[in-house]
Structures are given as structure tokens and as C-alpha cells.
Amino acid sequence: MKSISEFHFPEPFKHTHPPVRNVNDLLNEQLTFGQRTADNLALIMGSWKFIIIQSIILIFWVLLNFVAWMYHWDPYPFILMNLVLSLQAAYAAPIIMMSQNRQDMRDRIEAHNDYNINKKSEEEIKALLDHATVQDEALKEIHRLLQELHQSA
């Protein structure tokens, strides 16, 4: 067995990595006006509130054109309404895709950040386990010495 003075305890673990920051905060700080606008529009268009309001407007449009016999601004088959909806779809799809592409980029950055945090955690856990192993050996030796002292007394 080793004597107590022969045990080599590892140096305390030094945290050399920068503090962990929230990836969402970092990316939000870098967004341009256009990117913020695209995200906000995608958020609005992807809600039940938008669907319900748009449905009410379309129903109102159709009812007004059926009831107003004399002043049809868009008679059946509602070509003007189809044009408006086509324009909305033509602009909505690319805006939503821009927002989705940015979300994909954010997910990739977040996954890489998680990987780095896992690597750092693994290093710290290894250092803790190394330290705990040496402590276990030292405690065994201390216990053995205490037993010898107890037997000799």
C-alpha cells in the first residue's frame, strides 16, 4: 500500500471555456430588419387567429357580392378575390421559407452548441472521476492506518 504522502491528487479542474450563452439570444442580436419581418409575418400567418380573420373576410366578400345585386365589384366566380389570394400566396410562401431556413440554421447552431457543451461536460466529469479515484485510494489507506492504530492501542 502507498503511504499518505505518496498519493498524487490531480490539480483542480480549470474552466478554460467561455461561459455558455443562449444561442437564441446570440442569433436574435444579429437579425436584420428583413429577417425580423419575415419571422413576424410567418408567426402571424401560421396562427389560428390569421386563419379565422381571413375566413371571415372571405365569407364577408362572398356574401357582399351575392347580396349587392347592383354593385358587384367582384361577381361570381370571384376573379378579383382569386387574384388577391394568389398574390398573398405568392408572397407568403417565400416569406415563410425564409423564416424556416433561418430556423434550420438556428437548429444547426444549437446542435453544435449542445455538442460543445457535452464535450466540456465530459472533460469535467473525467476530471471529477480521476479526483474521486485518488480520494478513494487515500481513504482506503487512511482506513487501513486507523485500523493499525486501533489494533496497536
Residue 22 lies in a domain: no
Residue span of the structural domain in which 89 resides: 35-152
The residues, ordered by sequence, that sit 6+ positions from 138 with a Cβ below 8 Å of its Cβ are: 4, 7, 9
Q: Provide the number of structural domains found in the chain.
A: 1
pLDDT in tens, 94-123: 999 999 998 998 899 889 989 988 998 898
Residue 84 lies inside a defined structural domain of this protein: yes
Residue 1 lies in a domain: no
Tell me if 16 is assigned to some domain. no
Q: How far apart are CA 77 and CA 57, in angstroms?
A: 16
> Is residue 72 domain-resident?
yes
Task: Name the percent of the chain lying above pLDDT 70.
Answer: 95
Question: pTM score, two decimals?
Answer: 0.61
Q: Please give the full DSSP string across 8-73, using - where no structure is assigned.
A: -PPPPPP--SPPP--HHHHHHHH--HHHHHHHHHHHHHTSHHHHHHHHHHHHHHHHHHHH-SS--S
